[in-house]
Chain A
């Protein structure tokens, strides 16, 4: 039964790769989840942030020789600034003074960020050219039996989980976190507690962008030639599915959703091929929305 053992080996490898990929997916989706959960903004330009994070890593490596793992904090700092800018340039106009964020408001920011997404990806296409690029990075690999697992993948997966955990701690154990959670649940009540809604929403957005761009930097180590101006068109929908799976506003949910998607995609493609594996991953959203609109947790 040589065939069977080959398939088993493939599945194990797919599973490991899916878990590593899933951790990075989770980090990227966490960025979406934060803005979605805090400001009720579904950022359609989320994928473009991932793309900018990846290009940030690429250029830092190309011109300054940075290790892609070390580019993540720089990306995050850029993301923080971009998030604050984005909040005041785009969101503030719609969200300021609102006591509750209505469906109408959600649709306004959805459409506004959709326009941004279109502009940013095509601007990038002109600025960076449409060629696929990548960062040559090999951190070696470890061998477990017949399996070779690239260490870079393990590093970024672990770092992703660490960042997600830190975000969790930040949201649940700090004053800023409490303020953010209060704002996301009840704006008038948060105001009564002396919380400045604008500051909280802006910082939350900055945090979300920082996390997303760091995730974009991490991705470059998993996909050695996957950087392209339109890569966001893939990572945005993946993030939507992850957030819905885990439940908007639930930070651990992102991890569960990310791992689910990573495994479905990497194990699925062994049996179904890449196209159908992705189709299945995308369509997971539908039964979850129908049966468990609050997410699969609980």
Chain B
């Protein structure tokens, strides 16, 4: 397969890759202020891709995804604070904990369909937060404070790598056999089973990815804050924003989570200086609007109403 054909066969993938390469090359010259904004934007995008694995690809809407972020954050804080691990190794620990927890929670909660799954994940996240609050090794509800240096460039490249892997994986699971199976499950799970799709395994497979990356992103998030505290680590608003990004960007698409991250992050940053909390009013109204009027999200709407984009963006 020559390069031109490869490029034409997956323009969105290569577009995203190009975007990431530009960021990586530019990295060392980005002004620190812009860099911190970019780190947060990429973190949001990473959370969006994490949510996309489950909500986007299977239609199972999780309200409790912050549980993977929060436990990933605490795993990071624990191994870095107690064992003195390198923060990067802590990220791997966060990812591992996210993965294991996702396998555990998923093997139970993924049996519940639709709204029941959403509610089950919500209460699991709330309960997990309450349980973490009383564990002495995890700071007894006071959190874990670490004094690590300000290393924006390291954070930037770390989240860059995480995001790059997510984009690649998203492409991989949406194309080929797994992609067909997931689309079938999302459309009609029982009919999919009747054609031989092992729905339980496939759902758990993508849920595990989802948990892994949310754990890694959660760990990176607290690295940039140099400490882990229960309220921010388990703030349900993270779950809700993850979901908002995927709904706005386009559920199950390759480009959607990134667009959704931008759509959610911009009001975030804008209102930070104007009225704290007001961004959620905007995001909330956007979510309601998209759910009712544009359920296919930005990417789906572009594909639908702009025919020339149909073969290009996914």
Direct touching of A and B (C-beta under 8 Å): yes
Contact call A108/B292, Cβ cutoff below 8 A:
yes
Docked-complex contact B134 and A273, CB < 8 angstroms: yes
B131 contact from A117, A244, A276, A293, Cβ within 8 A:
A276
In the complex, which residues of chain A have a beta carbon less than 8 angstroms from the beta carbon of B130? 275-276, 278-279, 282
For residue B284, CB closer than 8 A to chain A, the reply is yes
Q: How far is the CB of A257 from chain B (nearest CB, A)?
A: 13
A263 at the interface (CB under 8 A from B): no
In whole angstroms, what is the CA distance A107 to B295 when docked?
10
Q: Name which of B44-52, B111-119, B165-173, B195-203 contacts chain A.
A: B111-119
Q: A174: CB under 8 A from chain B?
A: no
* Set of chain A residues within 8 Å of B280, measured between Cβ atoms: 118-119, 121-122
B126, A118: Cβ atoms closer than 8 Å: no
Cβ of B287 within 8 Å of any chain A Cβ, yes or no, is yes
Q: Among the listed stretches B15-23, B239-247, B303-311, which one makes contact with chain A, having 4 or more residues with CB under 8 Å of it?
A: B239-247
Complex-state Cα separation, A126 to B115, whole angstroms = 30
Known contacts A90-B288, A118-B244, A237-B123; is-contact A123 B134 (Cβ 8 Å):
no
Q: Which one of A144-152, A196-204, A284-292 is at the interface?
A: A284-292
Any A CB within 8 A of the CB of B275: yes
Q: Which residues of A contact B291 (CB under 8 A)?
A: 108-109, 111-112, 114-115
A23: Cβ under 8 A from any B Cβ: no
Residues A290 and B108 in contact in the complex (CB < 8 Å), given A114-B240, A275-B130: yes
Contact between B287 and A289, CB atoms less than 8 A apart: no
- Encoded as 1 (CB less than 8 Å from any A CB) or 0, chain B from 116 to 150 comes to 10111011101110110110000001000000000
Q: Is A270 an interface residue (CB 8 A)?
A: no
Q: Tell me whether A286 and B108 are in contact (CB under 8 A).
A: yes
A281 to chain B, nearest CB (A): 9
Task: Choose among B113, B115, B244, B288 the residue that contacts A42 (Cβ–Cβ < 8 A).
Answer: B115
Interface residues of B in 271-297 (CB under 8 A from A): 275, 277-278, 280-281, 283-292, 295
Partner of B243 from A114, A237, A293 at Cβ < 8 Å: A114
Give the chain B neighbours of A107 by CB distance below 8 A: 59, 61, 114-115
Since A119-B284, A123-B281, A279-B130 are in contact, a sample of 19 more A-B pairs with Cβ atoms closer than 8 Å, ordered by chain A residue number, is: A93-B292, A107-B114, A108-B292, A110-B118, A111-B61, A114-B287, A115-B283, A115-B286, A118-B280, A126-B275, A240-B122, A244-B116, A273-B134, A275-B131, A275-B133, A276-B131, A280-B127, A285-B120, A286-B124
